[in-house]
Structure 1
């Protein structure tokens, strides 16, 4: 009898609370929630497409309940401005699920911390120290090293006799490049030798990352139904084990760097040395240092791979754009030397292609969730304290009231009108805006532009044999970040002299 009574009590409390909310607040419209589970039953796997469809049914702002938690989704530039500028401070907190709370040391990092003194301090550290223009310039050799290493790897594989004319799975190359680049920036180590073999520490790191992805993509009802978390003991233990494994790895790296500095007195440009050197000045606890290091890994790895894979898919689907970009590269760079980051300001069409990709395929299409720290009004509706607000930048990018021919991949639109993508123009928000804008936006722009430029300068890309460009699968994979559901396969044809496909290696920076 106890269990039915418990369920009945929960049901009664839920109904009473929802009735109270509806009487007290004017909430945005939305699909009718069921008791306890809310709208979980009605969600489609690719949330951003589901929410975009609902915006056409319920309007540019609507409510959706994940379990008993209220989420408000905004789908227009005007409402995005209300969230990210007009009510920025009131909506600057984060909604941390049980899993995220574990990974972020309960918000002691930057990405998942609530807005307050801790966030302001850590944000200042990232802006003035980790992502300063001086440091980004100092780390440029690592970026160019890893981009050219990727190009060399693609070249070696595509000229193998058995691979002639065959398609390569680009995600394998992009993912390895992103892994090596961000781990060098973060931990100051290239976990791969000259023969392409990943060392023991690198294997352990890859194991931690793969396990994190596995845990992250395995959505648990315990996240949305907190009353039943006691039923998910195995998942709780898996989270604790993963957290301990990541901590052990990170502390070992930190100890190595501390000992190295004590011996030589030298510091490097990478993030672990910077954080350990600045730890006392900024009063950073060990959890914050570890949390920040993993922020860099999580924010810098998937997003780079995702963005460039989508961009290359668009290049394969749009040979006109690919040819036009190659003509610009040949005119500015020529075919007798490598492109460098110094060339990017002189390559306006490359910059437009990068912007168009971020417009159509933002790596976090719902942005990261904002949480109301007080009652606030958006679009004339009440957003109660504690509710989550998501900005659907994917829908904004496909809004015909904002963009002409929004479903067409047309970089020329950014030659016709200069649109900023660092948070001041609410039509294009790949990095967010306001207090929670991504501090690593410039690094991401440098890296994506460089990777695209090299891939198109070195190779011409075509679909696999028998596949028409218009038949390519352009569906997203479910998740907070949107990989292509079907990994991109494309055929590379070298277009530069063979001696230009060698890696430009640098040592520790």
Structure 2
């Protein structure tokens, strides 16, 4: 029986050949890759989905519009598929603005001394960009602390989100320019796919209809202070879709 190997198995095999292959991995390299995978992908994705679920559950009108979009794009007799994602525009961006995966982008080190905004930046200085503050700047965003998905929609209902614009310095949850996060396409698809699947298959209610606490706790990844607890109820009438 031919069993497909997963990512971790490949890493362990490379580690076992540490002394006999140029493509081997040392223990330190193995730990670094696993840490990057967990912190840079799994943890940030799970946190972003939790934030988005909390925001939608806190805004009944937004939830109504999300369900309307799911009914129109996916339909009550279908499962969410990857080709649906580009058409699910309503919930595509506001959480990345309010709750970017990393509040501080990875540090940059200028190759030469320069002056930015009247500040002298010596060569080699470690620079952190506070994207959390940038994306809540009241000089740029109207009602910056409010969850308003409509701010990213055009008049015809299409999304005007552009993660890959190298000169967009007011909205850059994944960084900007040549060194922005390489995982943007995957992260965007996974987050929207998970969220769409959760909401398409289930109606969600909070315990005793309480309002979720949107307080956060600071860290490399900014998470909710209290874990979101919600109760799912099957939403679709076709039981085969739940198999």
Q: Give TM-score, length-normalised by structure 2.
A: 0.83
Which residue is equivalent to 1:374? 112
Alpha-carbon shift at residue 297 of structure 1 (Å): 3.3
The CA RMSD over aligned residues, in Å, is 2.5
Residues paired across the two proteins, number: 228
> Structure 1-normalised TM-score?
0.42
Give the 3-state SS of the residue equivalent to 2:49 in structure 1. helix
Distance in 1 of aligned mates of 2:191 and 2:173: 13
Point out the structure with max Rg over C-alpha. Answer: 1
Contiguous gaps of at least 5 residues in structure 1? 1-182, 190-249, 259-278, 503-509
Match of 2:14 among 238, 244, 254: 254
- Structure 1: how far apart are the matches of 2:209 and 2:72? 32
What does the per-residue CA deviation read over 1:286-332, in whole Å, with 9 as the maximum and x for residues that have no partner?
35963445423331111101100000001110111111111111112
Deviation at 1:404, TM superposition (A): 1.8
Other-structure match for 1:443: 186
Structure having the higher helix fraction is 1
8 Å contact from structure 1 (residues 355, 421) kept in 2:
no
Q: How far 1:372 sits from its partner (Å)?
A: 3.3
Aligned pair 1:410/2:148, yes or no? Answer: yes
1:437 deviation in Å?
Answer: 0.8
Does structure 2 retain, via aligned residues, the 8 Å contact 1:402–1:427?
A: yes
Give, in whole Å, the separation in 2 of the partners of 1:421 and 1:438: 10
The 5-angstrom pairing of residues 420-435 of structure 1 reads 420-424=162-166, 425-435=168-178
Q: How many Å separate the matches in 2 of 1:406 and 1:363?
A: 17
Farther-moved stretch of structure 1 (477-486 vs 442-451): 477-486
User: Is the counterpart of residue 487 in structure 1 residue 227 in structure 2?
Assistant: yes
1:394 aligns to what SS in structure 2?
A: helix
Q: Select which of 202, 205, 208 maps to 1:465.
A: 208
Q: Deviations over 1:219-238 (max 9, x none)?
A: xxxxxxxxxxxxxxxxxxxx
2:187 matched to 1:187?
no
Matches within 5 A, 1:4-153: none
Q: CA deviation at 1:285?
A: 6.6
| Cα distance change of structure 1 residues 327 and 373 upon mapping to structure 2, 3 Å threshold | same
The SS at the match of 1:324 is: helix
Distance in 1 of aligned mates of 2:161 and 2:56: 21
1:307 is matched with: 48
Shift of residue 444, structure 1, vs aligned partner: 0.3
Question: What aligned pairs does 1:204-353 form with structure 2 within 5 A after superposition?
Answer: 250=11, 252-254=12-14, 286-287=25-26, 290=30, 291-292=32-33, 294-349=35-90, 353=91
Question: Quick check: 2:14–2:25 contact (8 Å CA) kept in 1?
Answer: no
Residue 362 of structure 1 corresponds to which residue in structure 2?
Answer: 100
Alpha-carbon shift at residue 387 of structure 1 (Å):
2.4
1:498 paired with 2:236, answer no
SS for the counterpart of 2:186 is helix
